[in-house]
Amino acid sequence: MSGPAPLATGLACPAPLPEGDRVRLGHGSGGRLSAALLRDHILPQFGNPALCRLGDGAVLETDAGRLVVSTDTFVVSPLEFPGGDIGLLAVHGTLNDLAMMGAEPRWLTAGFVLEEGLPFAVLDRILGSMAAAARAAGVTIVAGDTKVVERGKADGLFVNTTGLGTLRDDFQPDPARARPGDVVLVSGPIGRHGMAIMAARADLGLDTTITSDTAALPPLVEALRAAAGSAVHALRDPTRGGVASALNELARASGVGVALQETALPIPEPVAAACAVLGLDPLYVANEGILVAFVAPQAAERALAALRAHPLGIHAARIGRAVERHPGLVVLETGIGGTRVVDLLPGDQLPRIC
């Protein structure tokens, strides 16, 4: 067989595993199984043009102008971890999705599923985090809901936040707008949130100083907009599935290839160490306080400078370029000069012994 094997995306396997009749954990990983869940179950039922663009949010046309709406549900365990809690994630996460669409967040809703037996002390702390984060961001939590389920059905607490923001005419980053030649920037160090959560799980026994990077990114996005405006073609916050998954999604949506430089990736030593011990790749580890940006080359310098001038972006770095070749694929060049494809994983990364 000569030449590279064809990509398997979109091909159906004639011999599927029989267990395909149930939801698996991997369907929530942000990798290929998540994409399959959308493609095979959700989009066929809900499908409409806004949803099918698969952006961080949807743009709604109203007589009062354009709004962006985004929703996200948070199920993290443990509820409280070094650097934050599920409440902070819930507020920051939705604010960030709105910001990735170029919108200014204005309002949030919050829906809770509480597990019977959850201590009020814990709930009050989480609510306090959410209130503080919303205030700091200048958004109001205007509606919500609460349900309680029996012990054992909710891992303590699940929360959904939906956010609404207003869109400017002159700033509309979109996953499909990346172009060959765009510079790829990352706003900060990668891998902190996922490894903080891993370390907080007692069963792996890791003792680290790693803290979640959860942060509200709208002010950082505003700094980027002020410096580079419409030269910012695409933005994404690389949450579950990590930087690798976010770049794959943008590469596919835009039809560009991405060339990454391994030596340019900002990975803090404790994250690298924890990943080494467990056999994980930092490129696939979740982040909650950084963004990746595709910026037109002539604006890249000032975009990077604007990020670095902001407290949330002091470690911002140029990590690669969008290219014409290998559209839809992310390829990484190693320090030694070799290359490898950085693809979506099927499901979650699992700690390995090999």
Partner 1 sequence: MCLGIPGRVVALRDDAGLPMGTVDFGGVRREVCLAYVADEVTPGDYVVVHVGFAIARLNEADALRTLELLREMSRLDELGEVAAPP
Partner 2 sequence: MKYLSEYHDAAVARGLIERIRRTATRRWVLMEVCGGQTHTIVRQGLDQLLADAIEMIHGPGCPVCVTPLEQIDRAIALAGRPGITLASFGDMLRVPGSTRDLLGVRAAGGDVRVVYSPLDAVELARRHPDREVVFFAVGFETTAPANAMALWRALELGLENFSLLVSHVTVPPAVTAILESPDNRVQGFLAAGHVCAVMGWWEYEPLAARYRVPIVVTGFEPVDLLEGMLMAVRQLEEGRHEVENQYVRSVRRDGNAAAQALMRRLFVPVDRPWRGIGVIPGGGLALRAAFARYDAERRYGLADITATEPAACRAGDVLRGALKPPGCPAFGMVCTPEHPLGAPMVSSEGACAAYYQYGRTRPVGADTP
List phi, psi (to 5°) of 159.
-135, 140
d(CA 64, CA 130): 29
The structure tokens 């470690």 sit at: 315
Side-chain half-sphere CA neighbours of 102 within 13 A: 24
Contact 68, 98 (CB under 8 A): yes
The one among 60, 276, 309, 314 contacting partner 2 by CB under 8 A: 276
Q: How many residues bind partner 1 (CB under 8 A)?
A: 18
Kind and range of the H or E run holding 303? helix 300-308
Position 123 contacts partner 1 (CB under 8 A)? no
Query: To 5 degrees, how large is the angle CA 156–CA 69–CA 300?
Result: 105
Residue 333 CB, nearest approach to partner 2 (Å): 4
Binding segment toward partner 1, per CB under 8 A, in 15-23, 251-259, 273-281, 315-323: 273-281
| Omega cis (within 30) before 219 | no
Binding segment toward partner 1, per CB under 8 A, in 70-78, 109-117, 264-272, 340-348: 264-272
Residue 354 CB, nearest approach to partner 1 (Å): 5
Whichever of 84 and 268 has its CB closer to partner 1, that residue is 268
d(CA 73, CA 259): 32
Position 354 contacts partner 1 (CB under 8 A)? yes
Whichever of 250 and 331 has its CB closer to partner 2, that residue is 331
Whichever of 146 and 334 has its CB closer to partner 1, that residue is 334
Whichever of 48 and 352 has its CB closer to partner 2, that residue is 352
The single-letter code of the amino acid at 329 is L
Residue 225 burial by Cβ neighbours in a 10 Å radius (0-12, 13-18, 19+): buried
Joined together, the tokens standing for residue 163 give 């956010």
Per-position x/- string for 175-204, each x denoting binding to partner 1 as judged by CB under 8 A, each - no binding: ------------------------x-----
Position 155 contacts partner 2 (CB under 8 A)? no
Question: 51-68 burial, b if ≥16 CB within 10 A, otherwise e?
Answer: eeeebbbbbeeeeeeebb
Joined together, the tokens standing for residue 132 give 């503080």
Residue 109 touches which of partner 2, partner 1, none (Cβ within 5-8 Å per kind): none
Q: Residue 102: name the closest of 59, 141, 73, 60 by CA.
A: 59
Residue 207 touches which of partner 1, partner 2, none (Cβ within 5-8 Å per kind): partner 1
Write out the residues near partner 2 by the rule CB under 8 A. Answer: 1, 4-8, 11, 13-19, 22-26, 32-33, 36, 183-184, 203-205, 259-261, 263-264, 269, 272-273, 276, 278-279, 318-321, 323, 325-326, 329, 331-341, 343, 345-347, 350-354
Write out the residues near partner 1 by the rule CB under 8 A. Answer: 199, 205-210, 269-270, 272-274, 276-277, 279, 352-354
